[in-house]
Structure 1
Amino acid sequence: MPSLEKLLALLPSPAHPLAGRRATTLVLPDNIACFCRRSASGLNRPQRGRALHHRFVLMLALRTGVTVRVDDTDVSLGEGKGLLVFPFQFHDYMDARREALQWLFITFDMVNDGSLEALRYQPFDITPDMVRIMADLVAVYLKTGATADDLTTLLLALLLAHIKRPRAGARKRGQSPAASTLAGGRAAGGPGLMTKVNELAEERALPPSVKEMAAALGISASHLRTRFRESCGVTIGRHVRWLRLEKARGLLRLSTRRVSEIAEMCGFSSVYTFSRAFHAAYSVAPLEYRKGAHIQPRKSTRRR
């Protein structure tokens, strides 16, 4: 980048000194949390199923590459690369090239205005400019006070602007059926309801019933079913069933628990019921999946 002195020489005199550039509509991140992972074995903790967040997760592989499975897509995240995981995307980690690593994670809330969609499933290069912003961000994050909080927000917004700048014209590709359904829910005005349902499902070891969720939301079960179907494009029963199956899928990959135990943990009445539901959803039996069988696209669990 040219020096400040050279850049100053390029500045033109403004036609109207009191009329300058105005800010466009700006969407800022909020509720920001930063942390670092230094070992590959620590990435998949806790091992209670694939991670599901209602927040954005920005992962920056500063040292050591790892394959990240996001929904049904394997993303090779090499050293010096970053990846943005969107709200309600399941993800876990595998095939670390070395045990020792250095990954910066930044999780945050933000209204999805569509400007980040080109980054879905797409790793990006970590540039020197991004590294400088990350250093400033972490330094400010380690401080306390309202000023530090505001600066953290602004620095993350700047980092995101650098990340999406070279990919502004990129086409969205590789979207899984689950991601498409969730995107459809957002387009139809359903993020608030889906967020609450997912949060309620995450709070308990076993997914709550529709009646329990309706009671927690202060509405009737029939009203919840109707609103969820209209706003999210899928019945709430199928959505919760999908959450249970995805949790089971993570436990099959990330733990050594017996299939019968996993079935019980995920709310299935029997191992037979679980195996039948798993095969119907992924076209592979649970034990075959654990052994490394390839999963086919989801069949009926996300249909209307």
Structure 2
Amino acid sequence: MTPDLKKMIALLPSPKHPLRGRRTVPLNLPENIICFGRRAASALNQPQRGRALHRRFVLMLALQTGVTVRVDDREITLNEGEGLMVFPFQFHDYTNPGDETLQWLFITFDLVDDGTMQALRYQPFAISPAMRSLATELVAAYLKTGPAANDLITLQLSLLLAHIRQTKPASQRRAKPTLAPGLFTKVNEIVEDKAQPPNVKVMASTLGISVSHLRARFRESCGVSLGKHLRRLRLEKARGLLRLSTRRVTEIAEMCGFSSVYTFSRAFHTAYGVAPLNYRKGGHVKLQTNQRRKK
């Protein structure tokens, strides 16, 4: 027993009622968790064509060597000993590494966004000793197999996220805008606000620019066409709904702007190498070589 624990036990009050304790609230637990590491700066941007974009949260912990992370339209300096959360549907890639040798931990996961994570958007945070300890235990559990290990993975990540939400920002530095300030965020917000994915004409009108100007600015900023980006958004939204909701596949196809469930199923299988129903039952995606968006 550590001295600190002894001091805290001495501070504990006597219970007012032996059977009435603190009540719990429904937990918003992460799902479909993947952990992996990167030990070389050149391995961060894979593939080189296009910037990574997907429906999942990405937690990155820079344990050794700092790198500039471009998220949407901003450049964020992520120093050694700091972490950053990338949200679903955010573009991200990496530039200006301090050294080729690095040690980064990535944790990607699905989570119903209940608003508690929003303070972390574009905001690096310092990795505390408690966070490092929790990350160590999480990776140790991830390296094991079996249902018990899966429960530990979920609980350890939940604890890590709770610590991150309570931490103060790493600094007051501002994320620097790059090309087309706010364009990524605005496009994604328009898509999220609409019950049905809007066409490019409606989107350009909403932004107050011409269709050709919107397409050119978008390709210049992220290295991918607007049409391809919107298609990715539709498919990634569908993938999230398949994992996190009980809606029927036909309903998900309609919500994501596909003309029929057959068109949706074909597009989903082409993109991920698995049928929508099989994916919902736990099937793993098999991205085509030119579609892989690993870190």
What TM-score, normalized to structure 2? 0.63
Cα 1:87/1:242, change in 2 over 3 Å = farther
Cα 1:137/1:19, change in 2 over 3 Å = same
Cα 1:23/1:63, change in 2 over 3 Å = same
Partner SS state of residue 24, structure 1 = coil
Moved more, 128-137 or 174-183: 174-183
Cα 1:246/1:152, change in 2 over 3 Å = farther
Cα 1:19/1:144, change in 2 over 3 Å = same
Q: CA deviation at 1:2?
A: 5.7
Kindly provide the CA deviation profile for residues 24-46 of structure 1, in whole angstroms up to 9, marking residues without a partner as x.
23211100000000000110011
Q: CA deviation at 1:66?
A: 0.2
> What is residue 127 of structure 2 aligned with on the other side?
126
Kindly provide the CA deviation profile for residues 55-111 of structure 1, in whole angstroms up to 9, marking residues without a partner as x.
000010000000000011000000000000000100110000100000000000001
Query: Would the aligned equivalents of 2:29 and 2:158 in 1 still touch at CA under 8 Å?
Result: yes
Q: Give the distance between the partners of 1:243 and 1:144, measured in 2 at CA.
A: 46
Alignment of 1:246-265 (within 5 A): 249-251=221-223
Kindly provide the CA deviation profile for residues 247-299 of structure 1, in whole angstroms up to 9, marking residues without a partner as x.
66555xxxxxxxxxx88xx79xxxxxxxxxxxxxxxxxxxxxxxxxxxxxxxx
The code of the aligned residue for 2:114 comes to: D
The code of the aligned residue for 1:71 comes to: D
Query: Would the aligned equivalents of 1:49 and 1:249 in 2 still touch at CA under 8 Å?
Result: no
Q: Give the distance between the partners of 2:214 and 2:68, measured in 1 at CA.
A: 23
Moved more, 112-121 or 177-186: 177-186
> What is residue 78 of structure 2 aligned with on the other side?
77
Identity %: 53
Question: Does residue 39 of structure 1 match 2:40?
Answer: yes
> What is residue 182 of structure 1 aligned with on the other side?
188
Q: How many residues align?
A: 213
Kindly provide the CA deviation profile for residues 167-205 of structure 1, in whole angstroms up to 9, marking residues without a partner as x.
49x99x96934324534654x485xxxxxxxxxxxxxxx
Q: Give the distance between the partners of 1:243 and 1:93, measured in 2 at CA.
A: 23
Moved more, 130-139 or 41-50: 41-50
Q: Give the distance between the partners of 1:127 and 1:177, measured in 2 at CA.
A: 34
Cα 1:15/1:183, change in 2 over 3 Å = farther
Match among 186, 194, 197 for residue 228 of structure 1: 197
Cα 1:242/1:17, change in 2 over 3 Å = farther
Structure 2 portions without partners, runs of 5+: 176-180, 205-209, 230-295
- Give the structure, 1 or 2, with the largest relative contact order (CA under 8 Å, sep 6 or more): 2
What TM-score, normalized to structure 1? 0.61
Cα 1:46/1:181, change in 2 over 3 Å = closer
Alignment of 1:106-121 (within 5 A): 106-121=107-122
The code of the aligned residue for 1:228 comes to: P
Structure 1 portions without partners, runs of 5+: 191-226, 252-261, 268-304
Q: CA deviation at 1:6?
A: 1.7
Query: Would the aligned equivalents of 2:191 and 2:198 in 1 still touch at CA under 8 Å?
Result: no
> What is residue 23 of structure 1 aligned with on the other side?
24
> What is residue 64 of structure 1 aligned with on the other side?
65
Q: Give the distance between the partners of 1:11 and 1:148, measured in 2 at CA.
A: 32
